C-alpha cells in the first residue's frame, strides 16, 4: 500500500489523514479510529501515519496538517500527546518565555508612566506621590489618594494603561514592548490577532486591579498564574481573553 498522501482536493472520505479523534481510544479491543483489530493488521497494511490516522510528518493525533499561511503552521513541540491524541501545542509557535514577557511589560509600563508623571507635575495632581502628615493612618492616606486630584489622576491612569494595551493588542497583537522583544499576543484557538472585545477584557483584567487597589499583590498574582499554568503559560488576563503570548522573531 502506498504511503503517499492523496493529492489535495482528491482525498476520499475514508482517508486517515482526515480523521479527527475526539477522545482517547479504549485501552483494549478495537480502535474506533481505524486502528488494527486485536491480533492482526487490517487488509492492505496499516494506514499512512499510524494506526490512529496520524497526520503527515508524524504530527500525530489524526489532525490534518495546518493550511498554508496559518500562524500555527509549524510544529516546534513535536508529535501528538499520549493515547494518540493531538499535542495541544502542536503547530503553535514557541510560547514566550517568562523573562521576555516581563521585559516587554517593563518597557510598556515605562512608556505609559513617563507621560503620566509629566501630567502630574504639570497639574499638581497626587496620584503617585501622596504627602502624609504625622499622625495620619493608612485609611487617611488611601482617602487622599482617591479623592480630588488623586481620583482624577487615577482615572487618567486607568484610561491610559488600558487604552494603550487594548489599542496595540487588537491592532496587531504587539505592544511596543512585545514588538521590541519579538513577542505577540494571539488567540489560543487559531493564532489570530485578538479582536477588540478580547483585547479590552484582557487589558482590563491586567490593569484595573493594579491601578485601583492592588499595586503590589495583583502583578504578583499574574506572574504566579502564568508560571504555574500548563501547557499554555496563560496568566489570569490571558485566561479571560482566551489568548496566549508567542515568540514570532
> With a threshold of 0.85, does the pTM exceed it?
no
Using one digit for the tens of pLDDT, what is the confidence trace for 101-124?
999 999 999 999 999 999 888 876
Rounded to the nearest 5 degrees, what angle is found at the Cα of 110, between the Cα atoms of 186 and 118? Answer: 135
Sign for the CA dihedral angle at 42, 46, 47, 50 comes to positive
Query: Where in the sequence is the domain holding 193, given as residue range(s)?
Result: 98-247
Are the C-beta atoms of 104 and 182 separated by less than 8 Å? no
Q: Which comes out higher in pLDDT, residue 87 or 234?
A: 234
Residue 161 lies in a domain: yes
Residue 87 lies in a domain: no
* Share above pLDDT 70 across residues of the chain, in percent, rounded to a whole number: 55
Residue 174 lies in a domain: yes
Residue 31 lies in a domain: no
Q: How many CA atoms lie within 13 A of 47 on its CB side?
A: 21
Using one digit for the tens of pLDDT, what is the confidence trace for 42-96?
555 555 544 434 444 444 444 445 555 455 554 444 334 444 567 778 888 999 9
pLDDT at 78: 39
Query: What is the crossing angle of helices 196-212 and 217-228, to 10°?
Result: 130
Residue 15 lies in a domain: no
Three cell numbers, residue 220: 504578583
Residue 170 lies in a domain: yes
Sign for the CA dihedral angle at 217, 223, 224, 229 comes to positive
The structural domain count of the chain equals 1
Asked if residue 130 has pLDDT above 90, the reply is no
pLDDT at 122: 82
Residue 136 lies in a domain: yes
Three cell numbers, residue 96: 514566550
Classify residue 26 by its DSSP letter. P
Residue 49 lies in a domain: no
Amino acid at each position: 500500500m502506498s504511503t503517499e498522501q492523496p493529492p489535495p482536493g482528491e482525498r476520499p472520505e475514508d482517508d486517515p489523514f482526515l480523521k479527527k479523534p475526539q477522545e482517547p481510544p479504549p485501552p483494549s479491543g478495537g480502535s474506533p479510529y481505524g486502528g488494527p483489530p486485536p491480533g492482526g493488521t487490517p487488509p492492505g497494511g496499516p494506514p499512512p501515519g499510524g494506526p490512529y490516522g496520524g497526520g503527515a510528518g508524524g504530527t500525530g493525533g489524526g489532525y490534518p496538517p495546518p493550511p498554508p499561511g496559518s500562524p500555527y503552521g509549524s510544529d516546534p513541540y513535536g508529535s501528538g500527546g499520549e493515547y494518540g491524541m493531538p499535542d495541544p501545542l502542536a503547530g503553535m509557535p514557541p510560547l514566550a518565555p517568562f523573562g521576555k514577557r516581563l521585559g516587554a511589560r517593563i518597557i510598556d509600563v515605562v512608556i505609559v508612566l513617563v507621560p503620566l508623571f509629566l501630567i502630574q507635575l504639570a497639574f499638581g495632581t497626587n496620584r503617585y506621590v501622596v504627602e502624609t502628615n504625622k499622625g495620619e493612618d493608612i485609611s487617611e492616606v488611601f482617602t487622599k489618594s482617591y479623592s480630588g486630584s488623586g481620583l482624577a489622576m487615577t482615572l487618567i491612569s486607568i484610561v491610559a494603561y488600558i487604552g494603550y494595551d487594548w489599542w496595540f493588542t487588537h491592532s496587531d497583537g504587539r505592544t511596543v514592548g512585545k514588538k521590541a522583544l519579538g513577542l505577540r499576543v494571539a488567540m489560543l484557538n487559531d493564532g489570530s490577532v485578538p479582536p477588540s472585545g478580547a483585547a479590552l477584557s484582557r487589558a482590563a483584567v491586567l490593569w484595573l486591579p493594579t491601578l485601583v487597589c492592588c499595586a503590589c499583590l495583583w502583578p504578583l498574582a499574574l506572574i504566579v498564574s502564568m508560571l504555574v499554568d500548563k501547557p499554555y503559560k496563560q496568566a489570569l488576563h490571558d485566561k479571560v481573553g482566551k489568548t496566549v503570548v508567542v515568540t514570532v522573531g
